[in-house]
């Protein structure tokens, strides 16, 4: 379920818990294992000014020197247009390995999420 909150001086935001399996973030120097814990949408004055924030917890903090050494949390911020495009691609890629009988459940979940957001 989406929670609605108010951010001081910037308007409202929608927040939903985000539970993921392990996600690997890597560079040419090192990698980290993270898990999603929250997704928020900052609602600005204009539709185009919204941004999507994905918050992740670092599973196993690394102490060796690297660009992300010592990180405990990471955040990915996307423009709403980029989030939409990325979401479509990730949804399609995630659905690719599902049986057609499972696709109707995915479509219903998507429908329910959209309906929940439209009620706010």
Going by pLDDT thresholds of 50, 70 and 90, the confidence category of residue 5 is low
Q: Which two tokens stand for residue 25?
A: 């973030």
Residues with Cβ within 8 Å of 2's Cβ and at least 6 positions away in sequence, in order, are 14, 15, 16, 116, 117, 120
Quickly tell me which residue has 């709403």 as its tokens: 80
- What confidence tens digit (pLDDT) does each residue in 46-72 have? 554 567 888 888 887 666 666 666 677
Are the C-beta atoms of residues 89 and 73 closer than 8 Å to each other?
A: no
- Judge whether residue 85 has pLDDT over 60: yes
CA-nearest of 32, 94, 23, 82 to 53 is 82
The pLDDT value recorded for residue 2 is 60
The pLDDT value recorded for residue 113 is 87
Average pLDDT over all residues of the chain = 76
Residue ranges per structural domain of the chain: 3-118
Q: What is the pTM of this model?
A: 0.64
CA–centroid distance for 99 within its chain = 25
Backbone angles phi, psi at 110, to 5 degrees: -65, -45
How, if at all, do strands 23-26 and 11-17 pair?
A: unpaired
């Amino acid at each position: 379920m989406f929670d609605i909150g108010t951010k001081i001086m910037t308007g409202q935001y929608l927040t939903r818990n985000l539970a993921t399996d392990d996600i690997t973030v890597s560079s040419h120097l090192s990698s980290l294992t993270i898990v999603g814990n929250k997704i928020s949408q900052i609602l600005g004055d204009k539709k185009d000014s919204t941004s999507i924030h994905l918050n992740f917890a670092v599973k196993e903090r690394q102490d060796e020197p690297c660009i992300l050494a010592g990180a405990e949390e990471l955040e990915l911020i996307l423009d709403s247009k980029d989030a939409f495009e990325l979401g479509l691609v990730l949804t399609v890629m995630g659905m690719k390995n599902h049986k057609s009988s499972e696709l109707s459940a995915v479509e219903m979940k998507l429908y329910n999420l959209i309906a929940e957001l439209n009620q706010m």
